[in-house]
Amino acid sequence: MSDFNDASECRLSLRLRAPEGMLSADQLMVLGDVVRRHGIGFVRIVGRSGLEVPGIACEEIQTAKALLEASGLGTASEGGAGSSLSVCSGQGRCVSYFVDAGTLAMALSGLLESEAMPMPVRVAISGCAEACSCPQTADIGFVGIVEPILVRAECLGDGACVGACKEGALIMRRGLPRRDPQRCNFCGDCVAACGFNALRPARVGYTVYVGGKAGRRPCLGAELARFVPEEDAPEVAARVIGFVSERARPRETFGAVLRRIGLDALRSYAITRPSQRTRPQEMTP
């Protein structure tokens, strides 16, 4: 909740959280009703998949909150005040994904409501390297990635994969595509473009970024780990948040704690599997 800019009476804005960034038709009906009865006639769409109902009279805030929560809409004034979760369109709504960002979003939505968190934590999840939800500018960002592998016997050498690679990471040599691991960003476009199933996902997972932010002094998050398996991602997020929360000084932001304690200390605590600590091996010929 934040102060509404009217000195003559007490009014507040109510910030909403919707898991996966989606509202059902029924929730929209409830929201419309709350806005008509308790707000000033409109909803503001804010950053990080957020919605805000401005101009609610202070004495009506609890009533409005109760109505919204009964429909499954959380408010940002609950624990972890100011925390947010952004997620891309994802499975079923986007053709690019290899990793189901929505499943991870649902797993993390409860974690971000924890009363124990001493600071807001902004999490962003994208199902592919297009990174539509801007994970590199979040406190914790997840980007779905896929490592291609070539099954030589299936390759017809038509080069469709090379044409699909926007990074210039593939070239044809002796009739077969070859991948430059320094250029590859694990987007999987080549896998999707191969009509003969000769390029396949060797492994999928998330690249995890930490410490990114927009605003007055923007910076991109640092890479904490690559190819974190989907099933491990919720635990990695919980460990990162727990590690930072335990070491936070009063009023210190997530990014400030990270800069003070260093990435290596966080990595050795939060990333448990040896396979997540190393760069992937080059697997195409």
Least separation, in Å, of the C-beta of 163 and ligand SF4?
Answer: 8
239 strand-pairing partners:
none
Binding residues for ligand SF4 (CB under 6 A) = 148, 150, 155-161, 164-165, 167, 169-170, 177, 179, 184-190, 193-194, 196, 198-199
Task: Write the single-letter amino acid at 201.
Answer: P
Least separation, in Å, of the C-beta of 95 and ligand SF4?
Answer: 14
Least separation, in Å, of the C-beta of 201 and ligand SF4?
Answer: 10
Closer residue to ligand SF4 in complex, CB, 23/165: 165
Report the SS3 class of residue 33.
helix
Closer residue to ligand SF4 in complex, CB, 186/227: 186
Closer residue to ligand SF4 in complex, CB, 187/240: 187
Rounded-to-integer distance, Cα 263 and Cα 242, Å: 14
- Tally of CB atoms within 10 A around 175: 11
61: exposed, middle or buried (Cβ count in 10 Å: 0-12, 13-18, 19+): buried
- Measured at the CA of 59, the angle between CA 55 and CA 60, to 5 degrees, comes to 60
Closer residue to ligand SF4 in complex, CB, 119/187: 187
211: exposed, middle or buried (Cβ count in 10 Å: 0-12, 13-18, 19+): buried
Rounded-to-integer distance, Cα 232 and Cα 1, Å: 33
Least separation, in Å, of the C-beta of 263 and ligand SF4?
Answer: 25
Closer residue to ligand SF4 in complex, CB, 120/181: 181
Closer residue to ligand SF4 in complex, CB, 159/242: 159
Rounded-to-integer distance, Cα 112 and Cα 183, Å: 35
Least separation, in Å, of the C-beta of 137 and ligand SF4?
Answer: 21
Least separation, in Å, of the C-beta of 136 and ligand SF4?
Answer: 17
* Residue 168 CA: distances (Å) to CA of 41, 165, 173, 185: 51, 6, 14, 10
